[in-house]
């Protein structure tokens, strides 16, 4: 998360940006980054930077896998946990239980930065 923010700030330094209105991040469900934690961290880490006061929007990326054995491609099964609102993905093929290659869900990237032009 801090790496991501430093990268954004560095990028913004290349342009003459007055202020940033909104930053949209795409976070894969596999990254285990909690939305609330991220918003909190974002607020602290952007203080006294050009990102201060900007809105953080988080979009989730669903986990997608491809099976090495049967060629299945799609989502995975999840174990719903009672004590938290988190569900735990099962990283094996829902059809044949074979090994899978994760094709989506590991992202942690900046999708869009809306700036206030000078």
98 near Zn ion, judged by CB under 5 A = yes
User: From the CB of residue 29, how many other CB atoms can be counted at a distance below 10 Å?
Assistant: 21
> What is the Cα–Cα distance from 106 to 30, expressed in whole angstroms?
5
Indicate whether 90 belongs to the interface with Zn ion (CB under 5 A).
Answer: no
Of 14-73, binders to Zn ion (CB under 5 A) are 67, 69-70, 72
Report the DSSP pairing between strands 78-80 and 55-61.
unpaired
CB of 63 to Zn ion, least distance (A): 15
In the complex, minimum distance from the CB of residue 82 to Zn ion, in angstroms, rounded to a whole number: 28
Segment interacting with Zn ion (CB under 5 A) among 36-44, 79-87, 92-100, 108-116: 92-100
77 binds Zn ion (CB under 5 A): no
Query: Is 116 an interacting residue with respect to Zn ion (CB under 5 A)?
Result: no
Rounded (to 5) percent helix, strand, coil in the chain: 20, 40, 40
Give CA–CA dist 101/66, Å, rounded. 5
Say if CB 23 and CB 110 are below 8 A apart: yes
> What minimum distance in Å lies between the beta carbon of 91 and Zn ion?
12
Residues at the contact surface with Zn ion, assessed by CB under 5 A: 67, 69-70, 72, 93, 95-96, 98
């Amino acid at each position: 998360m801090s790496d991501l923010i430093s990268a954004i700030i560095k990028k913004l330094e290349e342009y003459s940006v007055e202020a940033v209105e909104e930053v949209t991040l795409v976070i894969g469900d596999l990254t285990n980054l909690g939305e609330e934690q991220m918003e909190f961290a974002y607020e602290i880490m952007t203080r006294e930077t050009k990102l201060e006061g900007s809105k953080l929007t988080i979009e989730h990326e669903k986990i997608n896998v491809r099976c090495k054995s049967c060629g299945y491609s799609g989502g995975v099964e999840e174990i719903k946990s009672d004590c938290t609102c988190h569900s735990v993905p099962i990283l094996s093929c829902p059809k044949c239980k074979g090994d899978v290659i994760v094709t989506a869900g590991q992202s942690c990237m900046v999708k869009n930065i809306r700036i206030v032009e000078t």
